[in-house]
Chain A
Amino acid sequence: MSTLLAVDNLSVAYRRDGRAIRAVDGVDLTLPAGVMLGLVGESGCGKSTLARALMGVLPGNARIAGGSIRLAGEDLLAMAPAARRARLWRDISFVPQTAMNALDPVYRLRDQMREVLTERGGLPRAAADRRAEELFGAVGLDPRRLEDFPHQFSGGMRQRATIAMALALSPKLIIADEPVTALDVIVQRQVLDTLRALGRDLGLSAIIVTHDISVVAYLCSLTAVMYAGRIVEYGPTAALTRAPAHPYTMGLMNASPDLDRAVETLVAIDGAPPDLSRPPRGCRFAPRCRFALPACRESEPAAVAVGDQHRSACLRAGEAPALRAAAGRARTEAAP
């Protein structure tokens, strides 16, 4: 499979109150073409900043502090910002958490689709309208609803319309930031199924940014787990959820309720993520990790292979099976 996206040692720094905060710090990430990758992490881990950096739409107080982003072999950071912006929608398009942020309330959906397709896509009007109808059909919306205004749509329909718009110019990559978080569970499932069908039928390449590892398990064949600005684990979703190799991923799994399993006491992760203006020495998860050794607080662990395409940035990755067994038990029991 050819590599679509290659992120190498990427760092993004914010300036706040005179201090630099590295929200993304030395991230490596690979996405083969035709694959959906779940980028999972909790609030403040840097996942949204990483998504914005990939699209080239960082806020004014943030800058790329190092590294490279290659899309289909092309170095995106070497391009002028204006040139990059001109290619948004065509190279990389975006599905935000709340569709209302992407849709203009005063225009009919047809006009909004037409604008993307004619002005950015260069299609003649009639062809644009045909394409809009096709796109609505692809995301499970009745093409007649193109005549509606966004407020006439339910939340789920709006999110589908945003997905249709993101697909409009057949971009190489779609980035969706918490695309189903604001939706009720039944509608959430319908939108996930739409995305899954697009992945299957169109070979869509996408990064799904989410706090919910269950959404990733439902939809994505690859997973990257982010903590405090770094990717701590990366691998095929099946391997990563069955045999997580980083204690943070183990913690996420043990804290996530599973309707298919008997009710057991969930295991919380004690403590809170570090202040990124003063990250701890060594592994950033070490202060919350039950298995941390003195060496973990000395130097930041590099990602090591724990399986096929499966990497964990943990000093004790080789002991993962023993750590997994202990991680599922309540904290009162001794750690190995």
Chain B
Amino acid sequence: MTPLIQSFGLRKSFPLSRSLPQMLRGERPTLMAVDGIDLTIQRGDSVGLVGESGSGKTTVGRLLLRLTPLSGGQLTYAGEHIDRMGPARLRGFRRQAQLVFQNPFDAVNPRFTIRRIVAEPLINLGVPRREHGERVAESLRLVGLAEPQRYLDSLPHQLSGGELQRVVLARALVIGPEFLVADEPVSMLDVSVRAGILNLMRELKQRLALTSFTISHDLTLVRYVCGRTLVMYLGRIVEEGPTEELILRPAHPYTRALVAAVPRPHVEQPRERLPISGAIGSGSDPPSGCRLRARCPYAFARCAQEEPRLVPVAPGHLSACHLHSA
């Protein structure tokens, strides 16, 4: 079956501001935010992308939705090259693929009523007006706002953070998309509210047979909503596998550090020193070989010479580290 999303060597670079000497030398420094990513998402999959700030994860999400043009590689949606879609096809694509934003308060116009906010995609895509009322109400019920009439004429500030995040989700779902990209969907919410949104996302995934791509810095979040997870570091995927396996048996030193670093809500938690030191650098001048090597206690000569490729470490579980073949 044709995967819903497939990419080969997906790249995105951003120009950086040039210094005078760089201008004189005719150099054009760039930041490689996404540097050669192969990705396959089958219909019905829920895939997570985890990384620290600066890893390039948000850029991947924007590429998948064609919100930013790609700089290299290939990207297809249901077998069709995303960058070659014409205006008419793109309109169809915008119905099929939707984005859920990070901060619900930034994602909505504060002067619009909830009715208007949720109807936005219907308006943009020219759905007949008479259908709006019912579809908006239905979408609000779908996200657990059981009495839509109570919300329709409210303004965003009259809602709690959790309710507004549900409204943002209702807006993404109102057009009946098949693919949803969620970028840090709960990071702005209080923990007591976050749990409800995570449960809702789990439930919707099953009920609507959605294909989803969830971007987060938080492994605990992807664990609740994603069957498979990719770990990104400075523009590259360093590990991918079934989410539970990745958390229980992380293979890459970076993933091992990510798992160990998450504080747990009990006192008997691991407190040993993290294997990874320092902080993520900038993608403008990545080191030769493995991008993690300066922070990695296991680095050896080969890590500086050769960039490790993703190799299988278990069925469906890949990791890009020279330790696996040493």
Q: Which positions in A face B, CB cutoff 8 Å?
A: 42-43, 154-157, 184-190, 192-193, 196, 211-215, 217-218, 237-238, 241-242, 251-260, 263, 265-270, 272
Whether A185 and B279, one on each chain, are in contact in the complex, defined by CB atoms closer than 8 angstroms, is no
Whether A258 and B264, one on each chain, are in contact in the complex, defined by CB atoms closer than 8 angstroms, is yes
List of A residues within 8 angstroms of B191 by Cβ: 42, 211-213, 252, 255-256
From B202, B257, B271, A186 is in contact (CB under 8 Å) with B257
Name the distance in Å between B159's Cβ and chain A's nearest Cβ: 9
List of A residues within 8 angstroms of B262 by Cβ: 185, 214, 259
Q: Does B198 contact A (CB under 8 A)?
A: yes
Known: A186-B257, A186-B276, A189-B274. A263 touches B224 (CB 8 A): yes
Q: Does B220 contact A (CB under 8 A)?
A: yes
Whether A186 and B267, one on each chain, are in contact in the complex, defined by CB atoms closer than 8 angstroms, is no
Q: Does B266 contact A (CB under 8 A)?
A: yes
Known: A185-B52, A266-B195. A259 touches B267 (CB 8 A): no
| 20 A-B interface contacts by CB (under 8 A) | A156-B279, A185-B52, A185-B218, A185-B258, A185-B261, A186-B52, A186-B261, A186-B276, A193-B271, A196-B271, A241-B266, A251-B192, A256-B265, A257-B223, A257-B265, A259-B220, A266-B198, A269-B192, A272-B160, A272-B193
CA distance in complex: A270, B266 (Å): 23
List of B residues within 8 angstroms of A214 by Cβ: 262-265
Whether B279 and A186, one on each chain, are in contact in the complex, defined by CB atoms closer than 8 angstroms, is yes
Whether B263 and A212, one on each chain, are in contact in the complex, defined by CB atoms closer than 8 angstroms, is yes
Of the listed residues A42, A43, A238, A255, the one surrounded by the most CB atoms of chain B closer than 10 A to its CB is A255
CA distance in complex: A193, B273 (Å): 8
Interface size class on chain B is 35 or more
Whether A259 and B259, one on each chain, are in contact in the complex, defined by CB atoms closer than 8 angstroms, is yes
From A184, A242, A252, A254, B266 is in contact (CB under 8 Å) with A242
List of A residues within 8 angstroms of B276 by Cβ: 186
CA distance in complex: A253, B276 (Å): 29
Q: Does B194 contact A (CB under 8 A)?
A: yes
**Beyond known contacts A263-B224, A269-B195: 11 more, CB 8 A cutoff:** A42-B191, A184-B52, A212-B263, A213-B191, A217-B269, A251-B192, A255-B192, A256-B265, A257-B224, A259-B262, A266-B194
Whether B199 and A154, one on each chain, are in contact in the complex, defined by CB atoms closer than 8 angstroms, is no
CA distance in complex: A147, B81 (Å): 51
Q: Which residue of B lies closest to A180 (CB)?
A: B263
Known: A186-B258, A251-B192. A237 touches B263 (CB 8 A): no
Name the distance in Å between B262's Cβ and chain A's nearest Cβ: 5
Q: Which of B150-191 contact A (CB under 8 A)?
A: 160-162, 190-191
Name the distance in Å between A172's Cβ and chain B's nearest Cβ: 26
CA distance in complex: A155, B271 (Å): 22
List of A residues within 8 angstroms of B196 by Cβ: 268, 270
Whether B192 and A189, one on each chain, are in contact in the complex, defined by CB atoms closer than 8 angstroms, is no
Whether A43 and B190, one on each chain, are in contact in the complex, defined by CB atoms closer than 8 angstroms, is yes
CA distance in complex: A212, B217 (Å): 16
List of A residues within 8 angstroms of B261 by Cβ: 185-186, 188-189
List of A residues within 8 angstroms of B218 by Cβ: 185
Name the distance in Å between A106's Cβ and chain B's nearest Cβ: 21
Whether A258 and B265, one on each chain, are in contact in the complex, defined by CB atoms closer than 8 angstroms, is yes
Known: A211-B191, A252-B192. A241 touches B273 (CB 8 A): no
Of the listed residues B218, B262, B267, the one surrounded by the most CB atoms of chain A closer than 10 A to its CB is B267
Q: Does B219 contact A (CB under 8 A)?
A: yes
Q: Does B280 contact A (CB under 8 A)?
A: yes
Q: Does B244 contact A (CB under 8 A)?
A: yes
Known: A42-B190, A155-B279, A241-B266. A259 touches B219 (CB 8 A): yes
Name the distance in Å between B7's Cβ and chain A's nearest Cβ: 25
Q: Which residue of A lies closest to B192 (CB)?
A: A269
Q: Does B68 contact A (CB under 8 A)?
A: no
Name the distance in Å between B105's Cβ and chain A's nearest Cβ: 12
Known: A190-B274, A211-B191, A268-B196. A217 touches B267 (CB 8 A): yes
Q: Which of B105-150 contact A (CB under 8 A)?
A: none
Contact flags B239-282 to A (C-beta < 8 A → 1, else 0): 00000100100000000011111111111010101101101100
Whether A268 and B195, one on each chain, are in contact in the complex, defined by CB atoms closer than 8 angstroms, is yes
CA distance in complex: A217, B263 (Å): 8
